Amino acid sequence: MQTPYVKRVYEDLQRKNANEKEFLQAAYEILESLEPYVKKHPELEKNKILERFVEPERFVQFRVAWIDDKGEVQVNRGYRVQYNSSIGPYKGGLRFHPSVNASIIKFLGLEQVLKNSLTSLPMGGGKGGSDFDPKGKSDHEIMSFCQAFMTELYRHIGEDTDVPAGDIGVGAREVGYLYGQYKRIQNKTVGVLTGKGIPFGGSLVRKEATGFGLCYFTEEALKVMKEDSFKKKTVLVSGSGNVAIYACKKAIELGATVVAMSDSNGYIYDKTGIKLELIQEIKEGRRGRIQEYIEKVPTASYHEGAKGIWQIPCDIALPCATQNELDLEDAKVLVQNGVIAVCEGANMPSTLEAAKYFIEHKVVYGPAKAANAGGVATSGLEMCQNSARLSWSFEEVDAKLKKIMVQIFHNTYHTAKSLGNSFDTLTGANIAGFDKVAKAMLALGVY
């Protein structure tokens, strides 16, 4: 970080948020990459745009008290950050995971502002969640928690104000319970959440969208940057949740062999190619552990420790689990093993050092806010359908998603190229996303 203005903004943020590791990490990465843009636009400093951009418009923290199956009262913490609404209503997922805290919610919210801008749809950025751990909870406990969570959250959201969706630990089941409670409280049927079930206003392709979109982005990047494709490639996909499963499905459809997947305990390696229906049966069907895969597939092996997955030689790596799951050491191994593309389905899965290593070594790098924007983009399409009281066909939504991902790649790539390094998609994505937000903030007057 060299530009005095950018440095000052970061140091101030560091001082005010000293304990927020993930938030500072995301803010550092974004601010540093904006330096060439900031140098060309003195009006940003004059209007304190960076100071305003890093400060959320609103941050809500609330108590969620609920009763478990034993009749005991449980207390969790709920959050919603309404980060930036300059280009549209706040939009972004809810994460239920014991690690959730203010730092994680703010890092995700800040990323979401730029991601949503990249989609080209009019959506601002937000994020929320709870430290509630869905693992081992009964369906009834999940419902009780979701109802208690929404009983507080409902007053902060609205179809034209803030539209939450899923993220880690929040899928169709949770969105259903959350939406049911919102409807009950407000007596309104509106598109206030996305990722809803198909019978009550959900969009076709939303379930598949992040994983499919990640592969559409990667396929276009491979074509343009390496004159290559997924065909006959060996692929690693970390995680085995919503994003990972549909990334795996599309990679296979595009002609690749996915040889490994993981969960938070460990990874499975199946050199004959992962049988995705079995993963879906274990994970989507009965919320089991990935280890169960080897009971049915004798060619596969299971290894404790999720991070070991990056040691497997591959052509393409798709990290789809969580933040900081891939560090510099992992990046070195991947490059040594000849990786040609690393595209991020998860949010901030690569540390900044790892991302820079990929860029230096001319790996096709798809930064999260560009490569995984297909989920929120399709959420934007769900909002359109809800407003119009229409539902589009699978083919129609899929075609729109593909078009958006190809356009996000080109916007990112051309921005990087215009700054002198076409492999620096990290800078490309941040600047391309920020440009629209900064212009909107300037036009809207001081707020």
Residues in touch with ligand NDP (CB under 6 A): 166-169, 171, 210, 239-244, 263-265, 306, 320-322, 325, 345-347, 372, 375
Q: What is the 3-state secondary structure (H, E, C) of 2-54?
A: CCHHHHHHHHHHHHHCCCCHHHHHHHHHHHHHCHHHHHHCHHHHHCCHHHHHH
Catalytic (active-site) positions = 127
Among 27, 44, 100, 165, binds ligand 2IT (CB under 6 A): 165
Q: Going along 314-380, which residue ranges are E strands?
A: 316-319, 341-343, 364-366
When asked if residue 347 is in the footprint of ligand 2IT (CB under 6 A), the reply is yes
Query: Min. distance of Cβ 195 from ligand NDP in angstroms?
Result: 7
When asked if residue 3 is in the footprint of ligand 2IT (CB under 6 A), the reply is no
Stretch that binds ligand 2IT, among 10-18, 22-30, 53-61, 85-93 (CB under 6 A): 85-93
Nearest to 233 by CA among 248, 213, 212: 248
**Rounded to 5 degrees, what are φ and ψ at 333?**
-65, -45
Residue entry with tokens 């990929």: 358
Query: Min. distance of Cβ 164 from ligand 2IT in angstroms?
Result: 7
Residue entry with tokens 């004159």: 227
Query: Min. distance of Cβ 419 from ligand NDP in angstroms?
Result: 26
Nearer to ligand NDP, 144 or 210 (CB): 210
Nearer to ligand 2IT, 93 or 349 (CB): 93
CA dihedral (53, 54, 60, 64) in degrees, to 10, reads 130
Q: Are 294 and 347 in contact (CB under 8 A)?
A: no
Query: Min. distance of Cβ 142 from ligand NDP in angstroms?
Result: 13
| CA dihedral over 108, 251, 204, 88, signed as positive or negative | positive
Question: Could you give the string, one character per residue 263-302, with x where binding to ligand 2IT holds by CB under 6 A and - elsewhere?
Answer: ----------------------------------------
Query: Min. distance of Cβ 274 from ligand 2IT in angstroms?
Result: 24
Q: Are 38 and 114 in contact (CB under 8 A)?
A: no
Query: Min. distance of Cβ 173 from ligand 2IT in angstroms?
Result: 16
When asked if residue 93 is in the footprint of ligand 2IT (CB under 6 A), the reply is yes
Nearer to ligand NDP, 167 or 398 (CB): 167
Question: Furthest-apart CA pair in the chain: how many Å?
Answer: 64
Among 376, 383, 416, 426, binds ligand 2IT (CB under 6 A): 376
| Identity of the amino acid at 265 | N
Q: Are 7 and 405 in contact (CB under 8 A)?
A: no
Question: Could you give the string, one character per residue 183-222, with x where binding to ligand 2IT holds by CB under 6 A and - elsewhere?
Answer: -----------x----------------------------
Residue nearest to ligand 2IT (CB): 93
Stretch that binds ligand 2IT, among 14-22, 29-37, 91-99, 174-182 (CB under 6 A): 91-99
Spatial distance between the Cα atoms of 156 and 314, rounded to a whole number of angstroms: 45
Q: How many CA atoms lie within 13 A of 93 on its CB side?
A: 30
Residue entry with tokens 């959050």: 79
**Site for ligand 2IT (CB under 6 A): how many residues?**
11
Nearest to 114 by CA among 86, 75, 154, 135: 86
Residues that bind ligand 2IT (CB under 6 A): 91-93, 115, 165, 167, 194, 347, 375-376, 379
